[in-house]
Structure 1
Amino acid sequence: MSILRFIPLLALLLVGCGTSSTRDDGAYNAMHVPVSGDFAGAPGVDAFIARMRQHGYSPERTAAILSGARRQQSIIDLMDQQAPSKSTGPTGAWTRYRAKFLGEDSINNGVAFWRRNEAALDRAAAHYGVPPEYIVAIIGVETRYGGFTGKTRIIDALATLAFAYPRRAEYFTGELENFLIMAREENIDPFAPRGSFAGAMGLGQFMPSSFRDHAVDHDGDGHRDLWNPADAIGSVANYFRHHGWQPGEAVAVRASVESPAAARALKSGFNTSYGLNELAGRGIKPTRALGRTGTVSLLELDAQGGYEYWLGLKNFYVITRYNHSTYYAMAVHQLAQAIRSRKDAPDGTRVSSTW
């Protein structure tokens, strides 16, 4: 009797194991659809194929796309470039950085871009509360108003960084995932889009996750196309609004400093937070009224001839959500102000200001 009882129990166990094995084999087969080309056998490829199943991508479709992607060593080399070390004294780094974006051509081209796209900019400003000059300045800093959107295939950039660059593999695997979903949502050939070596796209250089979260169809043609100026304009404005842009509020104000040594002793950067009274007690004051504000960031710029100090408000922080850099955000701010001044000048002549 004990043997008879054991036989059905064994049969049940075998059935159970068979059922589990069928599921496991299916997952195994899904993850091992062969990938050819540069990423054949690369770490993370099988897991990515399985990951895309939850989004409705068949293993065969994902494998075919990855088989067509190309590993770009130049991308890895660019990612490996070391950031410059922090200086211990003034070197004029800000002055050199600023000159890249605030030359006469850049300001004039910004005015021309504004005039060509005035209707789209006006709609964006009215709907999202972001002034046109800041939208134009972002596009100017990112791609020279659409003149340099990048030549690297996005699929190559993201696959290279997802499967051949372990240090940032997790982040870029997520961006590759979003890119393939985006391509299907927008009915785009995944091999067609081109952009930066890091996978940023269009006039505003959105990463795929930002595209899916913030890109808008600003011209109403049924597609979100960041290579289209109107959609890029609306998308940049939407990005700013989502990150907390305060309509009508200032961005940054120059500070007067009684003691440069005391100012240097304070932590600076877009993510610092000081009360105005606290800074005033250290001899740091805004050069004009700030209106209603709680705290400000202390911004130190390594300018030729000595350090400059500014106070950053909420809208300055919002610009840094685009690029986590004080210099980047200040370049956008000052370019925006220069473009606005040039456009508003009666004869379009040069207008000087410290902004």
Structure 2
Amino acid sequence: MKRITTLALSFLLAGHTFAATLRPEDNARLETLSHELNIPMAALSQAVAQADYRQAVLDAFTKTAESKPWYEYQALFLTDKRVTQGVDFWRAHAADLARAERIYHVPASVIVAIIGVETFYGTNMGKHPILDSLFTLAFYHPTRTPFFSKEFANFVKLGNAQGWDLKTRLGSYAGAMGMGQFMPSSYLSYAVDFDGDGHIDLFTNPADAIGSVANYFHQHGWSMGEPVVAAAQVTKPSALNYVQERVELKQRWGQLKQAGINTTAPLSSTTPVSLIQLAQPSYSEYWIARQNFYVITRYNKSPLYAMVVHNLSQLLAKQYYGH
């Protein structure tokens, strides 16, 4: 079968799956990845032969929760049920969470919040065949094929090392997997055998999931005890030019203060920060993002995601500790 465009596939085959052949440049990309990642080309070719194109995967990319305004987005996650079940999860795994906090210097509340936002504490880890999702995104996404082709190759590497049946392993439409929704490259780089049983399992082993999330945050620079965000007030319209859609910490607090932004948080003029804006129905919130906020965005680049994780972690801690 000749490879046709994603647009044509959307029109002709919406809702369908089919096996697809690759263009010569796709095969060349796989050859490169085979060498770069030390994966036998035969293993990649075998995975391609097993994979199916899924239009639903591409459709899901146009309907992400992060495209919603803040007031709608936070309502999806900051619920009484998610807090209550998060505290239950915390209590059930208190020893592992305390050990992860001690070893990796990441708060238990943040670890629980990540697992809560990602998979509702392991109860919703995704229903998409990971192989098909990554195949579809690797060779049919209009802009992100370099990223997803590498994740496709890493999934093959990971799955073969773990002895998985690649075709039956399930995850998100983006190919994320397990309780913490690690992409294959993150699974390979940051997942840990936290309970010491000789096997890393982020799907059914909460201890490994807890330790792996903590390790991810540790490796990305979480600073225990440091603030995450600070509320801000914008006093000059021109200061809105400093609002960032992605947290990069390229600004310094002195710049923002001089531009007409106020906060009660004690900040040195050289502190790296980002100014973010969150939409409420009739007004906007403004926040000064710090290093730890940036670390959360290494998990998901959206400032909405990082803020909801932070807020959920605070709600969890308040209910767990009773104050």
Q: 2:40 aligns with which of 51, 54, 57?
A: 57
Residues 172 and 309 of structure 1: is their aligned pair in 2 closer, same or farther, counting only changes over 3 Å?
Answer: same
Residues 119 and 290 of structure 1: is their aligned pair in 2 closer, same or farther, counting only changes over 3 Å?
Answer: farther
Q: 1:141 aligns with which of 97, 117, 121?
A: 117
In structure 1, give the amino acid aligned to 2:230: V
Compute the displacement of 1:44 (Å): 4.8
Equivalent in the alignment of 2:178: 202
Residues 285 and 46 of structure 1: is their aligned pair in 2 closer, same or farther, counting only changes over 3 Å?
Answer: closer
Equivalent in the alignment of 2:207: 230
| Cα distance between partner residues in 1 of 2:182 and 2:134 | 13
SS in 2 for 1:204: coil
Equivalent in the alignment of 1:161: 137
Residues 290 and 212 of structure 1: is their aligned pair in 2 closer, same or farther, counting only changes over 3 Å?
Answer: same
Number of matched residues? Answer: 302
Compute the displacement of 1:47 (Å): 3.3
| Cα distance between partner residues in 1 of 2:251 and 2:21 | 53
| Cα distance between partner residues in 1 of 2:66 and 2:226 | 34
Compute the displacement of 1:165 (Å): 3.1
| Cα distance between partner residues in 2 of 1:292 and 1:313 | 13
In structure 2, give the amino acid aligned to 1:209: S
In structure 1, give the amino acid aligned to 2:298: R
Q: Which runs of 5+ in 1 are unaligned?
A: 1-36, 86-91, 347-355
Compute the displacement of 1:277 (Å): 3.6
In structure 1, give the amino acid aligned to 2:253: L
Deviations 1:120-177 (A, max 9, x none): 1111111110001111111111111112110111111111222333532222111111
| Cα distance between partner residues in 2 of 1:337 and 1:84 | 21
User: 2:193·2:208 contact (CA, 8 Å) conserved in 1?
Assistant: yes
Q: 1:74 aligns with which of 53, 56, 60?
A: 56
User: 1:273·1:298 contact (CA, 8 Å) conserved in 2?
Assistant: no
Where do residues 167-316 of structure 1 align in structure 2 (5 Å cutoff)? Answer: 167-227=143-203, 228-257=205-234, 259=235, 261-269=237-245, 270-290=247-267, 294-316=271-293
In structure 1, give the amino acid aligned to 2:20: F
Residues 135 and 262 of structure 1: is their aligned pair in 2 closer, same or farther, counting only changes over 3 Å?
Answer: same
Q: 1:47 aligns with which of 25, 28, 45?
A: 28
SS in 2 for 1:281: helix
| Cα distance between partner residues in 2 of 1:111 and 1:327 | 22
Residues 56 and 239 of structure 1: is their aligned pair in 2 closer, same or farther, counting only changes over 3 Å?
Answer: closer
Q: 2:313 aligns with which of 336, 339, 347?
A: 336
Compute the displacement of 1:50 (Å): 4.0
Residues 291 and 118 of structure 1: is their aligned pair in 2 closer, same or farther, counting only changes over 3 Å?
Answer: farther
| Cα distance between partner residues in 2 of 1:84 and 1:134 | 19
Larger CA deviation: 48-57 vs 124-133: 48-57
| Cα distance between partner residues in 2 of 1:69 and 1:205 | 21
SS in 2 for 1:331: helix
In structure 2, give the amino acid aligned to 1:309: Y
Equivalent in the alignment of 2:298: 321
SS in 2 for 1:253: strand
SS in 1 for 2:19: helix
SS in 1 for 2:225: coil
Taking only the aligned residue pairs, the percentage that are identical comes to 42
User: 1:271·1:317 contact (CA, 8 Å) conserved in 2?
Assistant: yes
Equivalent in the alignment of 1:113: 89
| Cα distance between partner residues in 2 of 1:80 and 1:308 | 26
Larger CA deviation: 147-156 vs 161-170: 161-170
| Cα distance between partner residues in 1 of 2:211 and 2:19 | 37
| Cα distance between partner residues in 2 of 1:188 and 1:52 | 20
User: Please, what TM-score do these two structures have when normalized by structure 2?
Assistant: 0.84
